[in-house]
């Protein structure tokens, strides 16, 4: 064991204290140096940032001077409809017009097994309200032989209908019902059928198979079609459409895309009795003229040729020794009529014609009408349809077959209130 003196112990103690003090001083100065270095870096970064901010600011001011900023307007998003334009068009027309389409049902008188008269259900069809007072336009065949007419509205109410007038030659009838004073009826306006084009979209509303206010759409497939509706009636200038028209649609409106009536649905051509894509409508130009006369006079005022017409046949031509077997034989001409003044000749040779149980007397030797204003006349239906649109005092050119030659004669039509059942007799 090593022993130290007192002096040595004091010396060692002082040496340790001095060494500690030196180490502490060295550590203090090292810390201060690090602090100064960090502060210097921060100051440098701050100065650098200020310089960059100043440069960016100057650059921004330069850009604003060279390229001035514009306000950016973001358009508001328009609401997107859930329907196509075509669908919206269909919906518009239906909502505008469907309440003006009525269902027409009839009752007729029949005979039961005991030969007793009984009331039976007749036909049914459609019609359009054309006046707030309760006037309805429809087809004549819809109310044919009806003893009672019932008109049903969109709200389910029904009213008895009366016939104001009917015109068989155009198959148009006007009915009337009396709504309560507090009921405001919706109506359908007449359009213009003279501006129609093949390919134009049309809409039909009616009551097919008793399904009330059914809408179908299609296009105009043809214009100016002459369609023979019955033995003695040809309706000219019919509108052909592929819009589905079925039994019960008759009398309903054919509409354009603005909801205006351009025709009255009348008939279809079909082997099955259902729609085959070939339907026909009376043009509204004809309907409007007929309706105006029916409302004013109760019948249509047309220009007439005051003769007794007879349908030419092969047997008449053979018996009379004529070269043609078509046209309208002029049996007699009314005395003092425009036809007589124009030089139309009636027959002079009376003969019995018809069945043995119902013979008629006709006169041979007169003119045979084969044309009116360029329209070929082969049948009685041709004859009546050629005069359908003519008014009293209109001048027409009549082509006649006389003495083996064709001649043209101009005459002024007489003005007599007539309907298709009183314009002459087809034998």
Q: Which domains does the chain have, with CATH numbers?
A: 91-176 (2.40.10.10), 193-301 (2.40.10.10), 302-417 (2.30.42.10)
Band (418; pLDDT cuts 50, 70, 90): very low
| Average pLDDT across the chain, whole number | 82
Q: Above 80 in pLDDT, residue 292?
A: yes
Which segment, 43-57, 115-129, 347-361, 401-415, is predicted with the most confidence on average? 401-415
Catalytic residue numbers read 141, 171, 250
Segment 228-237 mean pLDDT = 77
Rounded CA-CA distance 282/229 in Å is 11
Please indicate whether residue 262 or residue 38 has the higher confidence score (pLDDT).
262
Please indicate whether residue 373 or residue 73 has the higher confidence score (pLDDT).
373
For the chain, report the end-to-end CA distance as a whole number of angstroms: 170
- Residue 217 CB: number of other CB atoms within 10 A? 19
């Amino acid at each position: 064991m090593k022993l130290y003196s007192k002096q040595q112990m004091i010396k060692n103690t002082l040496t340790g204290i001095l060494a500690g003090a030196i180490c502490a001083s060295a550590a203090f100065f090292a810390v201060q140096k690090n602090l100064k270095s960090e502060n210097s870096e921060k100051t440098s970064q701050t100065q650098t940032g200020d310089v960059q901010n100043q440069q960016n600011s100057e650059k921004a001011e330069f850009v604003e001077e060279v390229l001035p900023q514009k306000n950016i307007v973001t358009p508001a998003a328009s609401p997107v409809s859930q329907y196509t334009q075509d669908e919206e068009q269909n919906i518009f027309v239906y909502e505008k017009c469907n309440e003006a389409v009525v269902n027409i049902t009839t009752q007729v008188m029949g005979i039961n097994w005991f030969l007793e008269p009984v009331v039976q259900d007749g036909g049914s069809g459609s019609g359009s309200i054309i006046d707030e007072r309760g006037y309805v336009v429809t087809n004549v065949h819809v109310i044919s032989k009806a003893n009672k007419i019932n008109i049903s509205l969109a709200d389910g109410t029904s009213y008895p209908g009366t016939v104001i007038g009917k015109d068989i030659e155009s198959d148009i009838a006007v009915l009337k019902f009396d709504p309560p004073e507090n009921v405001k009826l919706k109506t359908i306006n007449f359009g213009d059928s003279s501006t129609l084009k093949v390919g134009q979209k049309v809409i039909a509303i009616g009551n097919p198979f008793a399904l009330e206010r059914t809408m179908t759409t299609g296009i105009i497939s043809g214009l100016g079609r002459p369609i023979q509706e019955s033995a003695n009636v040809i309706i000219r200038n019919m509108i052909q459409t592929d819009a589905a028209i079925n039994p019960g649609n008759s009398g309903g409106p054919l509409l354009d895309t603005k909801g205006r009536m351009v025709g009255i649905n009348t008939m279809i051509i079909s082997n099955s009795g259902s729609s085959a894509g070939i339907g026909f409508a009376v043009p509204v130009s004809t309907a409007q003229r007929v309706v105006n006369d029916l409302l004013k006079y109760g019948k249509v005022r047309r220009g007439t040729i005051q003769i007794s017409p007879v349908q030419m046949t092969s047997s008449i031509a053979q018996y009379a020794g004529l070269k043609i077997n078509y046209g309208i034989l002029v049996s007699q001409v009314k005395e003092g009529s425009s036809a007589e003044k124009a030089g139309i000749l009636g027959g002079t040779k009376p003969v019995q014609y018809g069945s043995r149980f119902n013979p008629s007397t006709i006169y041979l030797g007169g003119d045979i009408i084969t044309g009116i204003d360029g329209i070929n006349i082969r049948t009685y239906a041709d004859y009546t349809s050629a005069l359908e649109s003519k008014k009293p005092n209109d001048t027409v050119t009549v082509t006649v077959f006389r003495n083996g030659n064709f001649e043209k004669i101009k005459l002024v039509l007489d003005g007599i209130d007539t309907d298709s059942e009183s314009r002459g007799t087809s034998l």
